[in-house]
Structure 1
């Protein structure tokens, strides 16, 4: 296998939303939590693939049959909730890059979050040879094309990539695209997997 390791961002390198952040978003929306999160996630694929933020939040409101009082505040709270990094995994990324591994990132991410990550975590992002973001490609995991585009960005065939993601369906899709892929469990797991990739 070529010396290429591609990571998912959220749930692997980036932390998922904290409970307090989720509560803040629900409060701003003025909605009941369960139907709100159902609408939030149901509308998310188009947002991940490049939909405008205001259009996304209007779609969530339409699904709930309401109108949000302060969409800009919802956008800001949502962006902030997705901008935290797992320091242990970030440290491993620096470690692997320093060892000479070629690293890539394949993330379902909304367009407005990219500059947030570039401003807050630019040093970390700089350690990746290629960044494949769904919002820029117009296609999101688990669509097979997302993995093919990522491999193209890395300059290799899918079969030369070790891919790590926290979601089983994304790992299955990566394997179907030809990649070696594993569900993320821990920093130590990734460190051991990296040893199987030739330097």
Structure 2
């Protein structure tokens, strides 16, 4: 019987990227508010009324999102360009070089892939900055899957993309809900808190194979 493929499945934000997923969005919206000159209540009301597309679950909607946001907040082209650039800088953070290079070193021992909640445009932005495609294949983004962690379909569709059984996959994420969602689908994992503990957990998983 041929040996089954072992997969190490990584989240991006807060794992492969150094960024605080729990705070950056609120901080970014506050910077948008400052650019717009609006009070927060007024900004929230305008955003709600604009009915912007769900760029976290849809493909090809990024342009409509930024155009709609600019109209809703009366931003000119320069302001729209600046807040979009600020968004992606905040979204992507900086590379976790140590963990990325460790993932690269797994070649020959396991295959590496990504499952990440995302926004339309993330594939292009993160590839330009970090070159993930040279290490991870496939890269499964929520905006392309049409479903986000911790929904069961996010994991099931990723398993289909991997062509893997749950027991052959080890998952790393910085949110317990996402790790719990993986576990509910039969995928073992770890809550990422440091590179050292994550690497140790991966090594234990590989040693059991």
Unaligned runs of 5+ in 1: none
Is the Cα contact below 8 Å between 1:53 and 1:75 reproduced in 2? no
Aligned position for 1:9: 12
TM-score by length of 1: 0.78
CA separation in 1, counterparts of 2:115 and 2:151?
12
The 5 A counterparts of 1:9-158 are: 9-16=12-19, 22=28, 24-31=31-38, 46-50=54-58, 52-56=61-65, 67-69=73-75, 70-83=79-92, 84-97=94-107, 100-122=109-131, 124-158=132-166
Q: Number of aligned pairs? A: 190
What are the Cα deviations for residues 44-80 of structure 1, in whole angstroms up to 9, with x where unaligned?
9922112623544577789xxx624133332221012
State the secondary structure of the residue aligned to 2:54. Answer: helix
Asked if the contact 1:103–1:128 (Cα under 8 Å) also holds between the matched residues in 2, the reply is: yes
Report if the CA contact (8 A) 2:53-2:64 is conserved: no
Shift of 1:35: 9.1
Q: Which has the larger radius of gyration?
A: 2
**Counterpart contact for 2:190–2:198, Cα < 8 Å:** no
Structure 2 length-normalised TM? 0.75
Indicate conservation of the 8 Å contact 2:115/2:141, yes or no. yes
Q: Is residue 164–residue 181 contact of structure 1 (8 Å, CA) maintained in 2?
A: yes
Cα 1:188/1:155, change in 2 over 3 Å: same
- Structure 1 residue 164 displacement after superposition: 0.9
Aligned partner of 2:195 in structure 1 is 187
Secondary structure of 1:190's partner? helix
3-state SS in 2 of match to 1:129: coil
Alpha-carbon shift at residue 81 of structure 1 (Å): 1.8
Provide the alpha-carbon RMSD of the alignment.
3.3
